[in-house]
Amino acid sequence: MISHYTVDRKIRSDDAYSPNNEPNKRPDCAATVYCQRCREAYSDVPIILGGIEGSLRRIAHYDYWSDKVRRLVLMDAKPDLLVYGNGERALIEIMYRLARG
């Protein structure tokens, strides 16, 4: 929803992260879709989910935009690991541990 609307719930006219700045090219639940696609392409690679969707949806919560309670992102996206908040240091530790097996 962040990519589709401004803070005052007006529809964005452009999207800086889509080709040619075209709006409405990304899915509403991007983390779920991207995790599924990564799992299909690279089934043996661990998926680490983070960012704003990982942080906001790490627990069941009320979604103001859709007016309903959303499930945990872990149930929908099925990542191997969830990192929330500022994940820079956590990601370095995860990479060290993955390299060590």
> Does some domain include residue 14?
no
Predicted local distance difference test score (pLDDT) of residue 26:
63
> Does some domain include residue 9?
no
Predicted local distance difference test score (pLDDT) of residue 1:
57
Predicted local distance difference test score (pLDDT) of residue 7:
73
C-alpha span between 49 and 31 (Å, rounded): 7
> Does some domain include residue 6?
no
Render each residue's pLDDT in the chain as its tens digit; 101 residues: 566 667 777 776 676 667 777 766 666 677 888 899 999 999 999 999 888 778 878 888 787 777 888 888 888 889 999 998 888 889 999 999 999 98
Q: E strands within the chain? A: 48-49, 61-63, 68-70, 81-82
Show the domain range for 49.
Answer: 19-100
> Does some domain include residue 1?
no
Q: 20 — alpha (psi -120 to 50), left (phi > 0) or beta? A: left
